[in-house]
Amino acid sequence: MDDYQAVRELLPAPPLSPEVERAGRVRMAAAFAQERVRRGRRTARWTALGLGLAGAAAAAAIVIAPTVRHSAPVTSGPIAQTDGKRFLLVAAASVATMPDEGAWWGSTEVMGRRFREPGGRYVLHERRMRETWIPADPEGLTWYRETPEGIKPATSQDEAAWRADGSPTSWTYDDYVEQAEPDEQRTFSTEDWDFRIVAAGKALTKMSELPDTPEGLKALFGTDDRTTLDTTVRLLVFAPVTSETRAAAYRLLASMPGVAAVGQTTDVLGRAGEAIEYESGEFAPHDQVGATRTRLVIDPVSGRPLSIETRSVADGMLLSYTAIKDSRWADDNPLKEKK
């Protein structure tokens, strides 16, 4: 019996009855509530990016929120194409042909956040590099290498204001201090990258068990549009899923309400791509006040995601980002023996 057959036998045939759907959501909520309590005790400073647990060790985690925080429901009916987001369908066709076999899913990311100094006179930019290796084996450890690059003024204008402020190397806020000097590089492993999704009473222990159609993903991710959007974006950017599932995620985004096509743009690393935006606080810094928008920039030719960027709705300021320099399947993990 293969994994897909096991899932089919445990999941009721569509359409789900209201009773079965409610029971499944109760089990999902209980499982994720327990997991959030466990992880919450180890939240580190870089959760300011809205992407990490245990010092960003779980930045790639797919989270299906057990608590509905938004009121907009997912509309029923078939998945439809949206003209302004047709480049997502091009990306879906491209990514569907990519190889998706290997013992490890590796990615190299540039992570950053921007914030104002305590007096609000200039903007600071903190950046770090992160290499991640996620095992295909659900029992294996995920490995990371993080290289902090410290904090600097964000632009030349900010640098001039920083110099006028005496070129400080630390900044004191109400309950913490930011240091300009970067921390040391570190390599470590953890079990915190927990992408095991619970559905219909069965833990999906392999990403290959995720649905490979937009309708299937939409049914799994929940009835709340923004939860569906945030989870789909996480899947596209971080998760070691099959090419078919990744293509389905692009097609799902193309159909979702509240998603606006930005058109041609460049990401935070200056790479050309096309982007979508939607209003969400999922990836916003923890101390952000006011609404934020999430921007996903992709290369529609290759289908590869380039970056997730979070901006303030009020003034458009870039608050945080994760730029994916590279992602691939591989047979070996170069970090495993270098802890």
Mean pLDDT of 18-35: 41
Mean pLDDT of 258-264: 91
pLDDT of residue 100: 84
**23 pLDDT above the threshold of 80:** no
**Whole-angstrom Cα distance, residue 134 to residue 136?**
7
The DSSP letter of residue 302 is T
Mean pLDDT of 280-288: 70
Number of neighbours of residue 18 by Cβ within 10 angstroms: 8
Q: Which residues have C-beta within 8 Å of that of residue 18, sequence separation ≥ 6? A: none
Q: Look at 186 and 191; give whichever has higher pLDDT.
A: 186
Nearest to 231 by CA among 197, 202, 264: 197
Number of neighbours of residue 46 by Cβ within 10 angstroms: 23
What are the backbone angles phi and psi of residue 135, rounded to the nearest 5°? -75, 145
**105 pLDDT above the threshold of 80:** yes
Nearest to 148 by CA among 49, 63, 239, 281: 49
Q: Report whether 327 contacts 105 (CB < 8 A).
A: yes
Name residue, tokens 């970056």. 307
Mean pLDDT of 169-181: 93
**11 pLDDT above the threshold of 70:** no
pLDDT of residue 64: 41
Which pLDDT band, with edges at 50, 70 and 90, does 60 fall under?
very low
Q: Report whether 187 contacts 35 (CB < 8 A).
A: no
106-165 per-position pLDDT tens digit = 999 999 999 999 999 999 999 999 999 988 877 788 899 999 999 999 999 999 999 999
pTM: 0.73
Q: Domain residues of the chain, as ranges?
A: 3-330
Sign of CA dihedral 72, 77, 79, 84: negative
**Whole-angstrom Cα distance, residue 179 to residue 162?**
14
pLDDT of residue 82: 52
Mean pLDDT of 186-210: 61
Q: Which residues have C-beta within 8 Å of that of residue 164, sequence separation ≥ 6? A: none
237-254 per-position pLDDT tens digit = 888 888 999 999 999 999
